[in-house]
Structure 1
Amino acid sequence: MHIPATSLLQSLAFFTFSAACVWVAGARLAYLADALADRFKLGKSLVGLLLLSLATSLPEVATTLSAAAQQSRNLVLNNLFGGIALQTAILAMADFWAHGPITNYPRKANHALEATLLVLLLSVTLIITNLGETFVFAGVGLGSLCIAVIYGGAIWLLRRYDASSDWVPVDLPDPEPLVFPAPTGLGQAGNVNLIWQAVFACIAILVFGLLLVVFADRIADQSGLGTGFIGVTLLAGATSLPELSTSIAAVRIGAYTMAISNIFGSNLIMLVLVFPADILFRSGPILQNTSPMVSLSLAFGLTVTSIYLVGLIVRRKPWIGSIGLDSILVMLTFLASIAAYYYVR
């Protein structure tokens, strides 16, 4: 994508405009996904895991593959792994719009299983990055292939488990959605119309998401902060904007399970993108000789996911205002991660 040269102030202005467009498109997509789930009798958690998470991850997909083709290892890994703690913190921020802790709402074990499989995949990735890619074939490491295989198994298990009800919590909060006016016209729109609107929202997320990446990279160079720190902060934040807008919109209309699955599903996608990135990265295995920031971002991803896993299992947890203690701990951990990234940059 060729964009004319801009000054730092112009880059910031275009970055802000693109962010606003991504926000609007992401929120609209959440309403459309909720309407389509109701129309086709699909589970909200399944829609969040497979449809919404993939749609909101389009900027990450494009950014990762583009950076890998340009042989930018640090930008690929810092953007992917740095976005995991950030996207989990997005779920914590969405808790402000829920009636009580958001992790109290799931009625099946799907989300706890999603978090557990995410912890597994994060742990395997952390082990690979610390050991280095020992086995390499055609420039692609066995570790990245292993991550892709585990991801495929995780999605298969989650889809199969979606219809199961062998674990049911008690003392559940009121399932009624919040009183919030969803966009008018969705109830009267036909199925084809809803699908086309969702397609256009996805295209808007992809296009303006890519513009966010372009201007985030320019801001990194023009501000002198470098792609390492920018990769795990501004760039990861830019590509995570769709998840933020869709999650908040989903919570505001009471689609709590869709919001949770959207974030966990997006984080799983962030990890499996290592495999296609490794194929495009021709300077050796992409998980070999990684920087300390990569291991640090994976460790923080493990921490925030584990906090929410505990929150999903422990149904009666302390509240502060209307926010669950688990969400507060996730936000504090994310803030600590920013300080840690700056320290090791």
Structure 2
Amino acid sequence: MQVPATTLVQSLVVFAVCAACVWVAGARLAYLADALADRFKLAKSLVGLLLLSIATSLPEVATTLTAALQQARDLVLNNLFGGIALQTAILAMSDFWARGPITNYPRKANHALEATLLVLLLSIAIIVTNLGQTFVIAGVGVGSVAIAVFYGGAIWLLRRYDDSSDWVPVDLPDPDPLAFPAPTGLKTAGNAALIWQAGAACLAILVFGLLLVVFADRIADQSGLGTGFIGVTLLAGATSLPELTTSIAAVRIGAYTMAISNIFGSNLIMLVLVFPADILFRAGPILQDTSRTVSLALGFGLVVTAIYLIGLIVRRKPRVGDFGMDSVLVLVTFLGSLAAYYFAR
């Protein structure tokens, strides 16, 4: 994406404006997704997993493929894997708007299954990066193919399990929405209008999300911090902004399961994007000879996901104010990851 030259201050201002546009579009998309789920009698967790997670991952998709074409291995992997811990921290921040720990709300084991499958894919990625892609087919590592295959199996299993009722929780909190209402016009809008507005919100997220990526990369050069540190912090934050705004908006209207599935679904997408990036990256398998930052990002992603898996299983957990202990630990771990990225850059 070609944009005019700017100074560091101008880049920061444009970055902030684009972030505001993504915020508005993301919040609107959350309201629309909630209305569409009610209109078509769809499970909120399924809508979060398939609709919201894909829509909010559009900037990651475009950024990843563009960086892969430019043969920028570190930018691709740091952006993808660095975004996993960040997006999970976004879910933790959503506790501020929820009535009690957000992991207390799911009625079924879908989210625990999502977290377990995410742990599986993260573990595979860690193994592959440590092996260094021993087997290669047409320049594509077998590890990247394995991640794509397991991702397909994970989505199939989650979709099949969606209608299951073999997990019966007790002592659940009140599921009623918060006092914060969704836009009133959505209840009376026709199906075509809702779908059209959702498409427009997705397009806005894609366009302004890409501009965020462009200026994040420019800020990395102009500030002298480098693409490694910026890739797992500012760039990952830029591409994760849609997840932040949609998750907060979903929690504020009481769509807790949709918010959780949005984050876990987006993290699964971050991992599977390694496969198309490996196809476009022609300097060898993309998961070969990775930097220490990549391994750290995968490790921290594994830790925060495991914390939330425990939180989903342990229903009666300690609280710190309005926050569940699992969300507090996720936020602390994420802050620790930033320090680790800085020293490993």
- TM-score under structure 1 length normalisation: 1.00
Work out the CA distance in 2 between the residues paired with 1:342 and 1:197.
40
Q: Deviations over 1:171-208 (max 9, x none)?
A: 11111111112112101100000000000000000000
- What's the CA shift for 1:319? 0.9
Partner of 2:264: 264
- What's the CA shift for 1:137? 1.0
Work out the CA distance in 2 between the residues paired with 1:179 and 1:161.
32
Partner of 1:236: 236
Work out the CA distance in 2 between the residues paired with 1:285 and 1:275.
10
Partner of 2:62: 62
> What amino acid is aligned across from residue 215 of structure 2 in structure 1?
F
Work out the CA distance in 2 between the residues paired with 1:93 and 1:8.
29
Alignment of 1:88-127 (within 5 A): 88-127=88-127
Work out the CA distance in 1 between the residues paired with 2:323 and 2:39.
31
- What's the CA shift for 1:81? 0.1
Partner of 2:50: 50
SS in 1 for 2:15: helix
Partner of 1:26: 26
Work out the CA distance in 2 between the residues paired with 1:289 and 1:181.
50
Alignment of 1:308-323 (within 5 A): 308-323=308-323
Work out the CA distance in 2 between the residues paired with 1:263 and 1:58.
14
Work out the CA distance in 1 between the residues paired with 2:20 and 2:325.
30
Unaligned 5+ residue runs, structure 1?
Answer: none
**1:248 pairs with 2:254:** no
Unaligned 5+ residue runs, structure 2?
Answer: none
Work out the CA distance in 1 between the residues paired with 2:140 and 2:181.
49
**1:201 pairs with 2:173:** no
Partner of 2:222: 222
Q: Deviations over 1:111-152 (max 9, x none)?
A: 000000000000000000011111111110000000000000
SS in 1 for 2:172: coil
Partner of 1:302: 302
> What amino acid is aligned across from residue 223 of structure 1 in structure 2?
S
- What's the CA shift for 1:36? 0.1
- What's the CA shift for 1:321? 1.1
- What's the CA shift for 1:285? 0.3
Partner of 1:166: 166
- What's the CA shift for 1:168? 1.3
Work out the CA distance in 2 between the residues paired with 1:188 and 1:180.
18
What is the aligned length?
A: 345
SS in 2 for 1:185: helix
**1:38 pairs with 2:32:** no
- TM-score under structure 2 length normalisation: 1.00
Partner of 1:4: 4
